[in-house]
Structure 1
Amino acid sequence: MSHRLAPDLHVTRWLNTDTAPDLNSLKGRVVMILAFQMLCRGCAVQAVPQARRVRELFSETDLIVLGLHTVFEHHEAQGSEAALSAFIHENRIGFPVGIDTPGTGPAALPATMNDYRMQGTPTLVLIDREGVIQKHRFGHTEDLQLGAEIMSLILESPRPG
């Protein structure tokens, strides 16, 4: 999965931002995307707090953190924007969170989840300054490892065009 140009994010609505983030316009900075669901225990207990810490520790001139709420199960319980807004508020999420475009058909995955070939949530994606996926991981990454990977991408000079 790694080392291919990051596909566009298919988002129906962005929360926590006035301007919809666009991966193409974010080139030159490292991007961390956290795909999560509100009812995913690993997301709520580990991944979302970790993304908050990452956002607090790194400068936005170097790293942008984006959340992607990608609902592929329990649609009725976590599909409302009001519930997601409450989750964002209660969990003190300060970075932009996009709502993944629902898939079509009864068993279809949400659009971005499908394009990124995600296996579930939480999924962490790190994109380098050139827009290339350098990490794609389903499950938890330890803080020290993630910090080292992010710093490595920040320090890496963009390749000449």
Structure 2
Amino acid sequence: MDQPVLAPPWRISEWLNTTKALDLEAQRGHVVVACAFQMLCPGCVSHAIPQLKAVHDLFAPLGARVVGLHTVFEHHEAMTTTALRAFLHEYRVRCPVGADAPAEDGSPIPQTMAAYGMQGTPTFLLIDRSGRLHRQIFGHVPDLQLGAEIMQLLCAAVPNGPGVTP
């Protein structure tokens, strides 16, 4: 992305692994790392879910908000919230995960996926402290690249305040 734009709000039908709904606007002041995935996506299961877990373990203690977005655009009947709950348990995903709300017009593309113009899954969203979509990455991203970009955002100065010291 050339110029970061304000990240669109998430449209979530249900949150898992958290006691309260996460509002993107309320995350201002924090770096947000979100991973849009599907349970039946091979690239998500083999690469993105392990990355999401590692990002949560490494960067949440530094103040990053790490979130999964279950973004279903195919096989809707198989990917229920009950199945998602079991998937998160089996894969030991501990970060909050929001189930992307279905399209209101009957389209197969859920609302958050449409708002971001995602090409598919997995997609990582890197949102800076000001709530701007710093980067949107479709497909596999190397671990070192993802970690470096997250750390760059964490170390960036907060408007009218200090940056995070690693």
Same fold (TM over 0.5): yes
What is the match of residue 141 of structure 1? 141
The one-character-per-residue Cα deviations of 1:73-92 (angstroms, maximum 9, x if unpaired) are 011121x1110000000010
Contact conserved, 1:29 with 1:61, CA < 8 A, in 2?
Answer: no
CA 1:132 to 1:59, structure 2 compared with 1: closer, same or farther past 3 Å? same
What is the match of residue 164 of structure 2? none
CA RMSD of aligned residues (A): 1.5
* In structure 1, C-alpha distance between the alignment counterparts of 2:61 and 2:23, rounded to whole Å: 15
Q: TM-score normalized by structure 1?
A: 0.94
* In structure 1, C-alpha distance between the alignment counterparts of 2:62 and 2:151, rounded to whole Å: 13
The residue type equivalent to 1:140 in the other structure is: H
For 1:11-160, list aligned pairs within 5 A: 11-60=12-61, 62-78=63-79, 80-160=80-160
The one-character-per-residue Cα deviations of 1:50-102 (angstroms, maximum 9, x if unpaired) are 01001101234520111110110011121x11100000000100000001010
The residue type equivalent to 2:150 in the other structure is: I
The residue type equivalent to 1:123 in the other structure is: T
Contact conserved, 1:42 with 1:122, CA < 8 A, in 2?
Answer: yes
Contact conserved, 2:101 with 2:112, CA < 8 A, in 1?
Answer: yes
Cα deviation, residue 109, structure 1: 1.1
The residue type equivalent to 2:117 in the other structure is: R
* In structure 1, C-alpha distance between the alignment counterparts of 2:117 and 2:67, rounded to whole Å: 18
* In structure 1, C-alpha distance between the alignment counterparts of 2:90 and 2:63, rounded to whole Å: 27
SS of aligned partner of 2:78: helix
Cα deviation, residue 108, structure 1: 4.0
* In structure 2, C-alpha distance between the alignment counterparts of 1:61 and 1:130, rounded to whole Å: 17
1:7 aligns with 2:39: no
After TM superposition, the runs of 4+ consecutive aligned structure 1 residues lying more than 4 A away are none
CA 1:108 to 1:74, structure 2 compared with 1: closer, same or farther past 3 Å? closer
SS of aligned partner of 1:59: helix
**Structure 2 unmatched ranges of 5 or more:** 162-166
- Provide the identity percentage: 51
